[in-house]
């Protein structure tokens, strides 16, 4: 007897609602949920493969514990005993910073990842925190922190209403969008064109997204900050700035004008390889559009001037009056956001409150660069203890971070490592304990993180589609028990973690005049929470205290978990709305258009005006049927055009004597890889492209299908030394490489 169940897809940032067909515990089909309030039936090939992802035979079903050097299956009790026994002595002997934590991308796609990592970090008190953010969007957090006083206040383009979208270094037709949660991003771009709007794409490759555009600017990699500075320059020079109703909320406009004086279209033309007329046209089109949104993603972040480029994206939104207006770029307000405090000056955003031990990199948002993880483990200094134990949750940095070979070796030298991961892969193979979460069909879903970046306000929650296999803990329970084991409370009821968080949250809320809980009895409020378990009660708490919540009865029409459960296709909460000045937490209470650290980094950008790459530079690419490093084990998602090849322009191929399909050696600062060339004019001359997340040929992993066609690890070409200085973000695009065609 088959049945159906609803499940929000966790496989990318688009958060599509799926209808799963189930035969017992097996997912036999997945289609788009036509009644989903946000995705309205959209699905992509990855979502359609949900059943195959869920049922991958290589998923671990029991914990692994290392005994006599070998990872062997063990009971959950034994596994958590081993975690407690492994971590406690490291903290005792070497202090909290000797325990490192690595958080990977899927934490934004799980309920467990939304609720527990912050509790773990607070409990450990370690400064050795590394996440996928510093190989991704940290520059955007830093620019938002500096401009708006809140690193998480990221404006998203109002895709469904804008008249003009300037899209920089993003390829949503393959990625399905990022820092802009929008199911059916491709359809929304087509709708923009259909309603008479225009799309401009800045990308060194002629991507599927670029092919859809009215204008494609094939920029030289790594130079977007120069181009955007010149666009801002033109807005000033031609009198095209118009802040409109934003003006009273913005400071630093004239200082900005002066700071950008040198960045004329002519001055940036050679470095960007974009002629001055095109730059002027970009500025004029942006200013002339009734509404417009500037949006930058991976290609604008993972570059040497990532923070400056991210800052300039919002500078352009501000100067054209498009920040915080419908059709422009707005600040979403998620249902689980904190209840909004009144507008007014805030504490501002601090960078570099501490530094990494070996290279002295400044922290950003409480994190150190993932690029520095290997050296923080393998290098002793007088400054303090190296990292000796590691907690990795949903992370595969051996493939996703620079210089995987060095990190691979460093991980092998740790006193203790625990991985929360469904696979025995390139990273988890070094763990002393592997704690596998259940597959997605057995897990609940709510998008704590991605709803704060969504193009429409909505809220959805799906309970597990299939009951947990007997004896298997949910990932929420795994993380709660990990927290207890890591902090000397091994064996305590994991529900205590949730109860403590609830008590602390309510204890604070009752003291805040803007909270609906103000002045009330926290224990009485806690008793009102509903939900089948601790994580559900925490979701209920966040919903009820949140901007659309019932405030525990203060707003009887407001949201509660019960109301959400009664709407399995979700609840629509309307389009994005102007919110300024409320989200601003800068010391001035205004948008600070030229923050000090940014001004301090402009001389480096000015020097870049004269830089020209001598040889080839490397950039990445994504394929619709991939997801970073962990989906190459699914036969339905591999093969065809989803291959690890080096894209190379025909002119470069001819010059270097490389035939299509020939195997070439690519050399970078961190090492070399050997890979087949694919000659294509989709990349611009002077640029080669390799996808990331490949290189599944290391021993001791259990990824049978991925190992058949392992590909190579592009990040081996990097040595980890190239960073965006303000954010610590790795430079993954625009990296100098050389090709060697001798066999
Ligand atoms: N050269 C280059 N490198 C890049 C990038 C690039 O564009 N170019 N992109 C970067 C970006 S944007 C990112 S986000 C990073 C991603 O890098 P990582 O954060 O390392 O993420 P993944 O490679 O997706 O690996 C995720 C890990 O989580 C595990 N996993 C999957 N599902 C679950 C789950 O439900 N629970 C748990 N606990 N674990 C799970 C997988 O088995 C895998 O081990 O890579 C970065 N690396
Ligand atoms: N299918 C699939 N979807 C994914 C992922 C995946 O691995 N596969 N990963 C997910 C993750 S973790 C993330 S963060 C998002 C990322 O989402 P996107 O940012 O849309 O990612 P990409 O498809 O890599 O697009 C980046 C584009 O930047 C271009 N680029 C490279 N260098 C430069 C440059 O210097 N300047 C400019 N202007 N462009 C440049 C590249 O050619 C590429 O087309 O995708 C998510 N979705
Ligand atoms: S677009 Fe993303 S969320 Fe939607 S079905 Fe595909 S992988 Fe899942
Ligand atoms: Mo990412």
CATH 2.40.40.20 segments of the chain: 613-740
For 519-558, how does the pLDDT look when each residue is reduced to its tens digit (9 = 90+)? Answer: 999 999 999 999 999 999 999 999 999 999 999 999 999 9
Q: Is the pLDDT of residue 479 over 70?
A: yes
Place of tokens 């902090």: 487
**Which residue, judged by its Cα, is nearest atom 32 of ligand 1?**
106
Q: Is the pLDDT of residue 1 over 80?
A: no
**Measured from the CB, is residue 173 less than 6 Å from ligand 3?**
no
Distance between CA atoms of residues 117 and 15, nearest Å: 21
Closest ligand 3 atom to the C-alpha of 12?
A: 2
> What is the layout of strands, in order, in the sheet containing 129-131?
70-73, 64-67, 433-435, 416-420, 389-393, 99-103, 129-131
**Which residue, judged by its Cα, is nearest atom 8 of ligand 3?**
47
Enumerate residues 6+ apart whose C-beta is below 8 A from 344. Answer: 589
- Starting from the CA of residue 298, give the closest ligand: 2
For 437-472, how does the pLDDT look when each residue is reduced to its tens digit (9 = 90+)? Answer: 999 999 999 999 999 999 999 999 999 999 999 999
Q: How confident is the model at residue 699 (pLDDT cuts 50, 70, 90)?
A: very high
Mean pLDDT of the chain: 97
Which pLDDT score is estimated for 326?
Answer: 98
**Which residue, judged by its Cα, is nearest atom 4 of ligand 1?**
400
Establish whether the linkage from the previous residue to 406 is cis, with ω within 30° of 0. no
For 72-125, how does the pLDDT look when each residue is reduced to its tens digit (9 = 90+)? Answer: 999 999 999 999 999 999 999 999 999 999 999 999 999 999 999 999 999 999
- Starting from the CA of residue 217, give the closest ligand: 2
Which pLDDT score is estimated for 743?
Answer: 63
Fold of 613-740: Barwin-like endoglucanases (2.40.40)
**Ligand 1 centre from 105 Cα, in Å?**
5
82: closest CA among 71, 93, 92?
Answer: 71
Enumerate residues 6+ apart whose C-beta is below 8 A from 435. Answer: 63, 79, 83, 418, 419, 420, 421, 478, 482
By CB atoms closer than 10 A (0-12, 13-18, 19+), residue 90 is buried
634: closest CA among 566, 693, 575?
Answer: 693
- Starting from the CA of residue 627, give the closest ligand: 2
Query: Could you tell me which CATH class the domain 64-126+369-435 is placed in?
Result: alpha beta
**Measured from the CB, is residue 46 less than 6 Å from ligand 3?**
yes
Q: Is the pLDDT of residue 371 over 80?
A: yes
- Starting from the CA of residue 106, give the closest ligand: 1
Distance between CA atoms of residues 635 and 358, nearest Å: 42
**Ligand 1 centre from 425 Cα, in Å?**
12
- Starting from the CA of residue 185, give the closest ligand: 3
Which pLDDT score is estimated for 262?
Answer: 96
Instruction: Calculate what percentage of the chain has a pLDDT beyond 90.
Output: 98
Q: Can you tell me whether residue 384 is helix, strand or coil?
A: strand
Q: Is the pLDDT of residue 474 over 90?
A: yes
Q: Is the pLDDT of residue 742 over 80?
A: no
Percent of residues in the chain assigned helix, strand, coil, to nearest 5:
35, 20, 45
DSSP 117-171: HHHHHHHHT-S-EEEGGGGTTHHHHHHHHHHHS-TT---EE-TTT-SEEEEES--
Which pLDDT score is estimated for 383?
Answer: 82
**Measured from the CB, is residue 428 less than 6 Å from ligand 3?**
no
Which pLDDT score is estimated for 516?
Answer: 97
Which pLDDT score is estimated for 741?
Answer: 82
For 152-166, how does the pLDDT look when each residue is reduced to its tens digit (9 = 90+)? Answer: 999 999 999 999 999
For 548-589, how does the pLDDT look when each residue is reduced to its tens digit (9 = 90+)? Answer: 999 999 999 999 999 999 999 999 999 999 999 999 999 999
* Whether this model's pTM surpasses 0.95: yes
CATH 3.40.228.10 segments of the chain: 145-331+587-606
Which pLDDT score is estimated for 613?
Answer: 81
Q: Is the pLDDT of residue 209 over 80?
A: yes
CB within 6 Å of ligand 1 — which residues?
104-106, 110, 132, 135-136, 298, 393-397, 400, 420-423, 425, 437, 475, 620, 627-630, 692-693, 714-715, 732
Q: 199-208, 265-274, 338-347: which range is least confident on average?
A: 338-347
Which pLDDT score is estimated for 384?
Answer: 85
Task: Report the chain's terminal Cα–Cα distance, integer Å.
Answer: 58
For 298-319, how does the pLDDT look when each residue is reduced to its tens digit (9 = 90+)? Answer: 999 999 999 999 999 999 999 9
Query: How many Cβ atoms sit within 10 Å of the Cβ of residue 355?
Result: 14
Which pLDDT score is estimated for 426?
Answer: 98
Q: Region 11-29: what's the mean pLDDT?
A: 98
Q: Region 643-652: what's the mean pLDDT?
A: 98
**Ligand 4 centre from 334 Cα, in Å?**
20
Enumerate residues 6+ apart whose C-beta is below 8 A from 694. Answer: 399, 629, 632, 644, 710, 711, 712, 713, 714
Q: Is the pLDDT of residue 227 over 80?
A: yes
**Which residue, judged by its Cα, is nearest atom 2 of ligand 3?**
12
CATH 3.40.50.740 segments of the chain: 64-126+369-435
Enumerate residues 6+ apart whose C-beta is below 8 A from 70. Answer: none
Which pLDDT score is estimated for 15?
Answer: 98
| CATH match of 145-331+587-606 with 3.40.228.10 | yes
235: closest CA among 293, 295, 280, 289?
Answer: 280
Distance between CA atoms of residues 668 and 90, nearest Å: 36
Return the best residue to mutate from 159, 175, 624 for the ligand 2 pocket (most ligand atoms within 8 A of CB): 175
Enumerate residues 6+ apart whose C-beta is below 8 A from 622. Answer: 171, 174, 175, 691
Return the best residue to mutate from 53, 299, 397, 649 for the ligand 2 pocket (most ligand atoms within 8 A of CB): 299
Q: Are 571 and 564 in contact (CB under 8 A)?
A: yes
CB within 6 Å of ligand 2 — which residues?
12-13, 105, 136, 168-172, 174-176, 178, 202-205, 207, 219, 221-222, 224, 297-300, 303, 619-624, 626-628, 733-734
Instruction: Calculate what percentage of the chain has a pLDDT beyond 70.
Output: 100
**Measured from the CB, is residue 624 less than 6 Å from ligand 3?**
no
Q: Region 135-161: what's the mean pLDDT?
A: 98
Backbone phi, then psi, for 60, in 5-degree steps?
-75, 140
For 416-434, how does the pLDDT look when each residue is reduced to its tens digit (9 = 90+)? Answer: 999 999 999 999 999 999 9
Query: How many Cβ atoms sit within 10 Å of the Cβ of residue 52?
Result: 17
């Amino acid at each position: 007897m088959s049945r159906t169940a609803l499940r929000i897809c966790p496989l990318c940032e688009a958060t599509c609602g799926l209808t799963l067909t189930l035969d017992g515990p097996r997912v036999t089909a997945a289609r788009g949920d036509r009644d989903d309030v946000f995705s309205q039936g959209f699905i992509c090939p990855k979502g359609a493969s949900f059943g195959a992802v869920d049922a991958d035979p290589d998923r671990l079903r029991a914990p692994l514990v290392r005994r006599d050097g070998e990872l062997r299956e063990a009971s959950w009790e034994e596994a958590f005993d081993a975690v407690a026994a492994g971590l406690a002595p490291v903290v005792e002997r070497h202090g909290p910073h000797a325990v490192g934590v690595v958080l990977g991308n899927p934490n934004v796609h799980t309920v467990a990842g939304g609720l527990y990592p912050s509790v773990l970090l607070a409990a450990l008190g370690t400064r050795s925190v590394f996440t996928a953010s510093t190989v991704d969007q940290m520059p955007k957090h830093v620019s938002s922190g500096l401009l708006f006083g809140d690193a998480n206040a990221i404006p998203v383009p109002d895709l469904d209403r804008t008249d003009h979208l300037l899209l920089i270094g993003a390829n949503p037709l393959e990625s399905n969008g990022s820092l802009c949660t929008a199911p059916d991003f491709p359809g929304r771009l087509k709708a923009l064109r259909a309603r008479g709007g225009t799309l401009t794409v800045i990308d060194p490759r002629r991507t599927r997204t670029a092919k859809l555009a009215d204008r494609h600017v094939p920029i030289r990699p790594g130079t977007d900050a120069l181009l955007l500075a010149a666009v801002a320059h033109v807005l000033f020079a031609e009198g095209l700035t118009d802040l409109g109703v934003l003006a009273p909320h913005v400071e630093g406009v004239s200082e900005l004008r002066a700071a950008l004086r040198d960045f004329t279209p002519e001055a940036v033309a050679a470095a960007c390889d974009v002629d001055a007329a095109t730059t002027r046209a970009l500025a004029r089109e942006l200013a002339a559009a009734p509404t417009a949104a500037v949006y930058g993603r991976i290609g604008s972040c993972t570059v040497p001037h990532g923070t400056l480029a991210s800052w300039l994206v919002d500078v352009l939104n501000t100067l054209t009056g498009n920040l915080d207006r419908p059709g422009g770029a707005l600040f979403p307000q998620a249902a689980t956001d904190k209840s909004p405090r009144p507008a007014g000056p805030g504490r501002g955003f601090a960078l570099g409150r501490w530094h990494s031990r070996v290279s002295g990199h400044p922290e950003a948002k409480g994190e150190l660069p993932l690029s520095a993880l290997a050296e923080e483990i393998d290098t002793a200094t007088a400054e303090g203890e190296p990292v000796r134990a590691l907690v990795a949750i949903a992370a595969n940095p051996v493939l996703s971070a620079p210089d995987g070979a060095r990190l691979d070796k460093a991980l092998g030298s740790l006193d203790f490592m625990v991985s929360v991961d469904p696979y025995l892969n390139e990273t988890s193979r070094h763990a002393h304990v592997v704690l596998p979460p259940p597959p997605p069909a057995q897990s609940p879903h709510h998008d704590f993180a991605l709803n704060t970046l969504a193009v429409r306000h909505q809220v959805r929650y799906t309970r597990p589609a299939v009951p947990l296999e007997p004896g298997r803990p949910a990932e929420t329970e795994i993380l709660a028990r990990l927290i207890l084991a890591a902090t000397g409370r091994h064996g305590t009821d994991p529900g205590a973690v949730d109860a403590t968080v609830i008590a602390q949250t309510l204890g604070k809320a009752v003291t805040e005049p803007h909270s609906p809980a103000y002045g009330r009895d926290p224990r009485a409020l806690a008793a009102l929470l509903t939900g089948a378990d601790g994580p559900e009660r925490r979701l209920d708490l966040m919903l009820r205290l949140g901007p659309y919540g019932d405030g525990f009865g203060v707003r009887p029409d407001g949201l509660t978990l019960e109301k959400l459960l009664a709407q399995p296709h979700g609840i629509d909460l309307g389009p994005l709305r102007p919110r300024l000045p409320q989200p601003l937490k800068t010391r001035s209470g205004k948008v600070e258009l030229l923050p000090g650290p940014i001004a301090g980094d402009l001389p480096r950008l000015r020097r870049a005006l004269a830089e020209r790459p001598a040889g080839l530079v490397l950039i990445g690419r994504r394929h619709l049927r991939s997801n970073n490093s962990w989906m190459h084990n699914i036969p339905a998602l591999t093969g065809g055009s989803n291959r690890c090849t080096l894209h190379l322009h025909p002119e470069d191929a001819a010059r270097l004597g490389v035939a299509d399909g020939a195997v070439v050696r690519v050399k970078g600062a961190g090492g070399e890889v050997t890979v087949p060339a694919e000659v294509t004019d989709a990349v611009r001359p002077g640029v080669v492209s390799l996808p990331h997340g490949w290189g599944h040929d290391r021993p001791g992993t259990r990824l049978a299908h991925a190992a058949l066609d392992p590909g190579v690890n592009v990040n081996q070409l990097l040595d980890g030394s190239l960073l965006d200085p303000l954010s610590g973000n790795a430079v993954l695009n625009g990296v100098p490489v050389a090709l060697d065609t001798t066999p």
